[in-house]
Amino acid sequence: MRTTKTHFTLTTWFNVVLIVVWAVAVAAFLSIARPRPLLSSAIGAGAGLMAGILQRKSVQSSAAIFAEAKSALEVRRAFKSNRPGKLSIATTWVTGFGLLAVALAQGGNALLGLGAGYVSFMLPREIVGFGAIAEVRDAVPVSATCSEWFVTSLGRAPLWGPDLS
> Residue 117 domain-assigned?
yes
Question: Could you tell me the residue range of the domain that residue 39 belongs to?
Answer: 8-154
> Residue 17 domain-assigned?
yes
Per-block mean pLDDT, blocks of 10 residues, the chain (165 long): 63 88 94 88 96 92 83 86 93 95 85 92 93 73 50 51 49
DSSP secondary structure string for all residues of 80-146: TTSHHHHHHHHHHHHHHHHHHHHHHHH-S-HHHHHHHHHHHHHHHHHHHHHTTHHHHHHHPPBPPPH
> Residue 71 domain-assigned?
yes
> Residue 62 domain-assigned?
yes
> Residue 164 domain-assigned?
no
Q: Are 40 and 56 in contact (CB under 8 A)?
A: no
pLDDT value at position 145?
Answer: 46
Number of domains within the chain = 1
Helix (H) or strand (E) holding 77: helix 72-79
Which is nearest to 43 in space by CA: 127, 126, 122?
A: 122
> Residue 159 domain-assigned?
no
> Residue 78 domain-assigned?
yes
